[in-house]
Structure 1
C-alpha cells in the first residue's frame, strides 16, 4: 500500500510542479515581451536653447539616452528578480505539494487499507463478515459492494459444501453398515453356496444403486444452492409436457392417473435445473400417493408470471408440517412412497426455485395429498442472444 501511496504522491506533486512551472513561464514571457517603454519629449524651441532656460537639444538627447539605458537595466533587474523569486516560490510550494500529496494519498487510500485489513481477517470461520462500506456512491463503494457480493457467494458455496458433506455422511452411514454386515455374514458362513453369493451380490448392487442416486441428488442440491452462472430462455410448458410423458409408465405401474393441462409458459434460467425441478415434483407426487390416486400437472401464465402447479392425492398432511417436507431427508410419517426415495426431492425443488428467484406455495389437499405451486419470474423482455432452449431432449 505504501508503494501506491508514494506513486500517487509523486503523481500529484509532479502535476502541480509542471502546472506551476508552466504558469510561471507564461507569465515571464508575457512580461518579457511587453511593449511598454519610457517616452521623453523635447519641449525646447530650438537646438541652442531658449531665453527661458530650456536645455539644448543635445543635452536632452543625452538625458533621454541615459534614462532609456537606466530603464532597460531596471527592467532586466526586475525580470531577473521575478525569475528568481518565482523559482524560489515554486520550490517552496513544491515541497508543500509533496507533503499535502502524501497526506491526501493516505486519506484516499484509507478505505482501501480498511477493506484490505478486513478481507485479511476473514477466513472460513467468519466468511459471513462483510465490508459494509458507507458513504457516497463512488468507485470505492462499488468495490466494497463487489467484494461483499463475492463473499456472499463464497459463504453460500461453503454452506452448501458443508451441508453436502453432513448430509452425505449422515445418509451413507447406514448403507455402508449394511454392506459391511452382509459381507461379514457371507464370510463367516462356511456353508455358503453359489446362490448365496449371488443373492449377496444382488443386494450389494441394489445398495450401490441407491447410494449413487442419493449422491446425485445431493450434488444437484449443492449445485442449486450456489446459484446460476447464466440464464437462458426456457419453455416451461415444453419441459413439463415432455416430463409428464416420461413419467406416464411409472404412474401407470404405481396405479396413479397422471393428468396434464399445459398452457404456453416461458421463463429464464437453467433448462437442466428447471427440468429437474419439474421431474422431482412429478416423481414425488406419484411416489407419495394412494392406490387409484391422481396427479394433476398444470402450467399457465398468471399476472405475467409463468406458474407450474402439481397436485396429487395421498395421505393427509397436517398444514403445520408442510414446510418441513422441503428440508433434506424429511419424509414425516408418510408410509407410502416407493423405495429409493431419500427425502431430498422437495429440498432440491426449493433450492432450484430459490436459484431462479421463484416462489413456492405448498398446501395440503382437503382429502389428502399435496398441492405445490411454483411461480417463476416473468421472462426478460430482451432475451439473451442464445437461442431459445427447452432443455436437453
Structure 2
C-alpha cells in the first residue's frame, strides 16, 4: 500500500478544527504558550550561565606535585581557558577535584528539576491569569455584540456610544455607529419611497374603480359614454405602466452597473431629440442641440434613459413658447451633458428636493408626471460615478448638468435603445 503525505490544506483544516472556537480560549492558550516558551528560554539561559560560572579554579594536588586546575578537569593553558600548573601540594587532590565535579553536576540537575517545577506551576497560573485578562479585554466586544443584537428596524436609532480612550475598540464602535446611522437613513428613505409609491399607485386604482362602478350603475349609459370611460381607463393604465417602468428602472440602477460599453453622449442626445414629444408641440417649445463628442463607458440603456428624462423634465416643466437646449462635450476630462430649459421660477432651496422620488413642483400626478424622472437621473448618475449638478435659472427653469468619467480611448458607440418618457 502506497502512503501519501497529507496536503497543506488538509493539515490547515485539521489545525482549524482542533483550535478552540471561542476567542477567549484562544487568547488564553496564546498567553499560556508565550509564557511557557519565554520561561523555557529563560531557564536555558540560566542553565548555561550557571554551568559557565561553576567551572571555577581550585587548588589541589596530583601525584607528588601540587596542581592548579579547573574543577571539571578540563585541560589547557591557565587563564580563561583553564589548564593546570604543577604546585608542591600533598596527595588527595584528584579525589577532591572529582568530588567537586560531581557536586557541580548534581547542583545543575537540581537546578533544572526545581526550575522545571517552578515553570509548570507558573504555567498553570499564567493560564488562569490569561483567562481573566482575555475576559477583561473582550468585555467591551461582548457589550457591543449584545447591543447590536438588540438593534432592529424598530430601534435602529440606538447607538453603541462607547466611551473611553481613542483605541482600536473605540474606532470599531464609532465605525459601527456610523454604519447604523447610514442604515437608519436608508431605511427611512425606503419607508418614504414605499409610502409614496403606494399612494401613487392607489390613486389611479381608485379612479379606475370609480369609472367602472359609474359605467355599471348608469342604466342609461350609451356607447359613447362607455367609449369615453374606456379611453380614460386606457390613459390611466398607460400612466400606471410608465410609473411601474420608472420604479423598475430606479430599482435596477440602484444596484449598480452589470456591464459597461463604449458610447458617445452626442449620439445619445441626437437620438433623444428625434423622439416626438406631443407636449413640446402643444406648448410650441423650441428644442435645440449643440453637440460635441463626449465619449464614455457605461450602460447605454441607462445613459439614454438619463438624457431622455432630463429632456422630458425640461419639456414637461416649461411654459408655452419656451425653449429647451441640450449640449454635450468634454470638460476637465469628463463627458458632459447639459440640459437648460425655461419655465416657472424654481426657488433655489427647492432644487435639491426635486431629485427625491415623488417630488413635484406645482404639478400633479394627474398630468402624467409622478416625480420620478429626476430621481432616476440621480440614481443613474451615481451608478456611473458621474457628477450631477443643478441650479435654478434667474428667469425661471433649471440648468442640469451630468459629468461622466470620460473614456480613455474613443471606441465605436454601442447601439442605442429607444428612450421612454419616465415622468
Residue in 2 that maps onto 1:210? 239
Given that residues 280 and 349 in structure 1 are in contact (C-alpha distance below 8 angstroms), is that contact kept between their aligned partners in structure 2? yes
Residues 6 and 331 (structure 1), Cα distance of their counterparts in 2 relative to 1, 3 Å cut: closer
In the alignment, which of 15, 23, 31 is matched to residue 4 of structure 1?
Answer: 23
Q: CA deviation at 1:71?
A: 1.1
In the alignment, which of 253, 267, 272 is matched to residue 241 of structure 1?
Answer: 267
Mapped to 2, the partners of 1:125 and 1:232 lie a distance apart of 39
Residue in 1 that maps onto 2:82? none
Mapped to 1, the partners of 2:181 and 2:298 lie a distance apart of 20
Residues 380 and 249 (structure 1), Cα distance of their counterparts in 2 relative to 1, 3 Å cut: closer
Q: Within the alignment, does 1:254 sit opposite 2:280 as a pair?
A: yes
Count of equivalent residues: 370
Residue in 2 that maps onto 1:298? 327
In the alignment, which of 194, 203, 217 is matched to residue 188 of structure 1?
Answer: 217
Query: 190-199 or 88-97: which moved more?
Result: 190-199
Given that residues 240 and 278 in structure 1 are in contact (C-alpha distance below 8 angstroms), is that contact kept between their aligned partners in structure 2? no
Q: Secondary structure at the match of 1:162?
A: helix
Given that residues 358 and 370 in structure 2 are in contact (C-alpha distance below 8 angstroms), is that contact kept between their aligned partners in structure 1? yes
Given that residues 277 and 352 in structure 1 are in contact (C-alpha distance below 8 angstroms), is that contact kept between their aligned partners in structure 2? yes
Give the structure-2-normalised TM-score: 0.70
Residue in 2 that maps onto 1:98? 127
Give the structure-1-normalised TM-score: 0.74
Q: Secondary structure at the match of 1:126?
A: coil
Q: Within the alignment, does 1:309 sit opposite 2:338 as a pair?
A: yes
Given that residues 346 and 398 in structure 2 are in contact (C-alpha distance below 8 angstroms), is that contact kept between their aligned partners in structure 1? no
User: Gapped runs of 5+ residues in structure 1?
Assistant: 47-56
User: Gapped runs of 5+ residues in structure 2?
Assistant: 1-19, 67-86, 418-423
Q: Within the alignment, does 1:18 sit opposite 2:37 as a pair?
A: yes
Mapped to 1, the partners of 2:341 and 2:144 lie a distance apart of 53
Q: Secondary structure at the match of 1:299?
A: strand
Mapped to 1, the partners of 2:386 and 2:167 lie a distance apart of 27
1:185-229 Cα distance to aligned partner (Å, 9 max, x none): 2222345566665554443333222112113323444566x5747
Residue in 2 that maps onto 1:168? 197
Q: CA deviation at 1:80?
A: 2.7
Residues 269 and 14 (structure 1), Cα distance of their counterparts in 2 relative to 1, 3 Å cut: farther
Q: CA deviation at 1:97?
A: 1.7
Q: Within the alignment, does 1:342 sit opposite 2:360 as a pair?
A: no
Residues 35 and 127 (structure 1), Cα distance of their counterparts in 2 relative to 1, 3 Å cut: same
Q: Secondary structure at the match of 1:254?
A: helix
1:16-47 Cα distance to aligned partner (Å, 9 max, x none): 2134235425654776699937562459579x
Residue in 2 that maps onto 1:78? 107
Given that residues 251 and 258 in structure 1 are in contact (C-alpha distance below 8 angstroms), is that contact kept between their aligned partners in structure 2? no
Given that residues 290 and 313 in structure 1 are in contact (C-alpha distance below 8 angstroms), is that contact kept between their aligned partners in structure 2? yes
Given that residues 313 and 365 in structure 1 are in contact (C-alpha distance below 8 angstroms), is that contact kept between their aligned partners in structure 2? no
Aligned positions of 1:318-337 closer than 5 A: 319=348, 321-333=350-362
1:257-308 Cα distance to aligned partner (Å, 9 max, x none): 3222223345677665443332211111122334454211112333445433
Given that residues 17 and 94 in structure 1 are in contact (C-alpha distance below 8 angstroms), is that contact kept between their aligned partners in structure 2? yes
Mapped to 2, the partners of 1:144 and 1:389 lie a distance apart of 48
Task: State the superposition RMSD in angstroms.
Answer: 4.3
Mapped to 2, the partners of 1:359 and 1:295 lie a distance apart of 19
Mapped to 2, the partners of 1:231 and 1:372 lie a distance apart of 29
Mapped to 1, the partners of 2:160 and 2:173 lie a distance apart of 6
Residue in 2 that maps onto 1:116? 145
Mapped to 2, the partners of 1:27 and 1:377 lie a distance apart of 71
Q: Secondary structure at the match of 1:155?
A: helix
Query: 310-319 or 76-85: which moved more?
Result: 310-319
Mapped to 2, the partners of 1:234 and 1:8 lie a distance apart of 54
Q: Within the alignment, does 1:158 sit opposite 2:184 as a pair?
A: no
Mapped to 2, the partners of 1:129 and 1:354 lie a distance apart of 29
Q: Secondary structure at the match of 2:327?
A: strand
